[in-house]
């Protein structure tokens, strides 16, 4: 029986951010150029900046439940499903580093 489980794996944060599709309430947006209104259930690449999407996340809830991640993964099994909170934490750490340099 196949079930969804969370996996921790190291990724290049810049790679992830440059190929990230972010799902909102109804549509998705490109994390790279912030293009809005993308159909996240079918879009393969950003129509504006042409980035190819390899990762998908949702900003709908800060702590995205495993059930919701599973639904997202079932919709887009071609993309790696990641938690938005993880991206936000890394970006906040980068910002904090910039302040102290």
Question: What does the binding site for Zn ion look like in residue numbers (CB under 5 A)?
Answer: 30, 32-33, 35, 46, 48-49
- Decide if 23 contacts 57 (C-beta within 8 A): yes
Q: Enumerate the β-bridge partners of residue 56.
A: 21, 81
- Decide if 47 contacts 33 (C-beta within 8 A): no
CB of 96 to Zn ion, least distance (A): 26
Token match 């991640």: residue?
A: 69
Residue 35 or 86: the one with the smaller Cβ distance to Zn ion is 35
CB of 97 to Zn ion, least distance (A): 26
CA atoms within 13 A on the CB side of 61: 7
CB of 28 to Zn ion, least distance (A): 11
Residue 36 or 71: the one with the smaller Cβ distance to Zn ion is 36
Residue 47 or 61: the one with the smaller Cβ distance to Zn ion is 47
Residue 14 or 96: the one with the smaller Cβ distance to Zn ion is 14
CB of 17 to Zn ion, least distance (A): 12
- Decide if 81 contacts 72 (C-beta within 8 A): yes
């Amino acid at each position: 029986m196949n079930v969804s489980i969370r996996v921790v794996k190291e990724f290049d944060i810049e790679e992830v951010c440059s190929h990230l599709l972010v799902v909102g309430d109804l549509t998705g947006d490109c994390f790279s150029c912030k293009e809005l209104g993308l159909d996240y259930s079918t879009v393969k690449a950003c129509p504006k900046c042409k980035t190819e999407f390899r990762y998908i996340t949702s900003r709908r809830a800060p702590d995205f439940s495993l059930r919701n991640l599973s639904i997202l993964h079932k919709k887009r099994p071609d993309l790696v499903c990641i938690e938005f909170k993880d991206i936000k934490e890394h970006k906040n750490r980068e910002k904090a580093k910039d302040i102290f340099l």
